[in-house]
A = this chain, B = another copy of it.
Amino acid sequence: MYSIGEFSLITRLTVKTLRYYHNEGVLLPDYIDEDTGYRYYRESSIERAAIISKFRELGFGIAEIKSIVPECSQDSDAVEYLKAKQKIIRQEISSSIKTESAIKMILNQIERNRMNNVDAATTEISEKMIEDIIYAGFRMKGKYEEIGTAFKKVARIAGRRISGSPVSLYYNSEYSENDADMEGGFTVNCNIINKEINCRVLSGGKALTLIHRGKYDLIGKSYEKLFRYIKKNNLSIRLPMRVLYLKGPGMIFRGNPENYLSEIQIFLN
């Protein structure tokens, strides 16, 4: 017969744990001194303790163990319980993986924002060569501010294949209050085949660009500036126009709208 301390050393369960298991009725001492209340364990209880430890390692709760162990005497008796537990653990794993990849996405997004901000100092009109991009978008009609629904839709489908900021395309050559023809989406790193969204290469070319700082609802001012420039220089443009949301509300924090950055790109013929 071992005292609780000795038994604790043998089984690698703490004394606290052994007392708790006694309380819960899952591992009873073999003898209790009636006068002193001291617990004593027989050699034969070591195996039971090992079984309990094993089940605990496998993620079983002690209430479960208490009901499983008495009705099992071989591994094969526990198959159903093991399979059930396996299923639960798999669910936990996949939910943790989801969380982890959500964090990863946020970190990527932050990293991209950081990179964008570095070279986004100018707020003057400039003429740039824009590269081809792979773009996945959802085309829709509505008010300008409803473009967010397209971003959400594409983000849900494209997920981690997104490789750049949100980009929206505007197919109207004029301001269209309630019925703008537009597309919201993202630069992605591979082709995405999906009925709902349209993924293709947007060819680049020479474009006038202007970085707009602040909330989107004042973006009209920036458009005005660009159109004045186009008129003055008698340029011919190619639709759709693009807007890149270099920095907008974050994935967690809305951030200060005064610091939002969007780049308007108007392609020239």
| Chain A residues within 8 Å of B, Cβ to Cβ | 47, 51, 54-55, 57-59, 72-79, 82-83, 85-86, 89-90, 92-93, 96-97, 99-100, 102-104, 106-107, 109-110, 113-114, 250-256
The docked-state distance in angstroms from the alpha carbon of A79 to that of B83 is 39
Q: Specify how many copies of this chain sit in the oligomer.
A: 2
The docked-state distance in angstroms from the alpha carbon of A252 to that of B83 is 14
A104 engages B86 (CB within 8 Å): yes
Q: Which of B75, B103, B255 makes the CB contact (< 8 A) with A253?
A: B75
B74 engages A86 (CB within 8 Å): no
- A83, A85, A110, A114: which has the most chain B beta carbons within 10 Å? A110
- A55, A76, A83: which has the most chain B beta carbons within 10 Å? A76
B103 engages A73 (CB within 8 Å): no
B255 engages A57 (CB within 8 Å): no
- A-B residue pairs in contact (CB < 8 Å), sample of 29: A51-B253, A54-B251, A57-B99, A58-B103, A58-B106, A59-B103, A73-B253, A73-B255, A74-B253, A74-B255, A74-B256, A75-B109, A75-B110, A75-B113, A75-B251, A75-B252, A75-B253, A76-B110, A76-B114, A79-B107, A82-B107, A83-B107, A85-B103, A86-B100, A89-B103, A90-B100, A92-B96, A93-B97, A96-B96
The docked-state distance in angstroms from the alpha carbon of A99 to that of B102 is 24
The docked-state distance in angstroms from the alpha carbon of A87 to that of B131 is 36
Q: Which of B54, B97, B255 makes the CB contact (< 8 A) with A252?
A: B54
Given the known A-B contacts A93-B96, A93-B100, are A254 and B82 also in contact in the complex, defined by CB atoms under 8 Å? no
CB-CB nearest in chain B for A255: B74
A56 smallest CB distance to B (angstroms): 10
CB-CB nearest in chain B for A69: B253
With a CB–CB cut-off of 8 A, which chain B residues contact A107? 79, 82-83, 86
B55 engages A252 (CB within 8 Å): yes
The docked-state distance in angstroms from the alpha carbon of A136 to that of B143 is 68
The 8 closest A-B pairs by CB, nearest first: A75-B250, A74-B255, A86-B103, A89-B100, A93-B96, A54-B252, A76-B110, A75-B110
- A72, A85, A250: which has the most chain B beta carbons within 10 Å? A250
A92 smallest CB distance to B (angstroms): 6
The docked-state distance in angstroms from the alpha carbon of A45 to that of B106 is 23
With a CB–CB cut-off of 8 A, which chain B residues contact A253? 51, 72-75, 77-78
Q: Which of B82, B102, B109 makes the CB contact (< 8 A) with A103?
A: B82
